[in-house]
Amino acid sequence: MTEPIVEQIMAAVRSRMAAFTLAFRSTAKASWQPKDLTVHVHQGPLTPNAEMSCPGNPPAQAYDLQAIVAGITKPSDNDPTAIDTFRNRMAADIVKNATDAALWHQWGGLAINTVIGTAEPYVEETGGMHGVMVPFLITFRTDENNPYSVRS
């Protein structure tokens, strides 16, 4: 079965991050611990974009999709390297993997444009896990009455 365009885009994001060991949100065990250099791909808000929508028959509905790529850096306690160095490397690798394709911002012809947001560091509440989150704002269009059909 064909997936909606939004899911096809998220699959393309996950595919580009395949150079990392992907870990999708695991809630099966409360004791689950991520490994160093693990990348999570999360879908953020999906909001209509009236400015990029187009009239027609059928009209094209544009959306802004936030895809969040979160990289976990969990270095050894004995490693003297600053945690910011690990975060900077992880953020750079996330951007490199995302942009490693011709017309990378169109995600295989599914999107109109992509804007890379500000890489933000985060620290787990217990302080045991550090990482960086890189948001991508992906704009795409579908037929107003068919979210499975991409429109340019």
Q: In the beta sheet, which residues pair with residue 134? A: 69
58 upstream amide cis, omega within 30 of 0: yes
| pLDDT 10s digits, 104-116 | 999 999 999 999 9
Please return the burial class of 104, using the count of CB atoms within 10 Å of its CB with bins 0-12, 13-18 and 19+. Answer: middle
* pLDDT tens readout for residues 53-71: 998 888 999 999 999 999 8
pLDDT tens for residues 4-39?
Answer: 999 999 999 999 988 664 433 333 434 444 455 578
Q: What is the pLDDT of residue 123?
A: 77
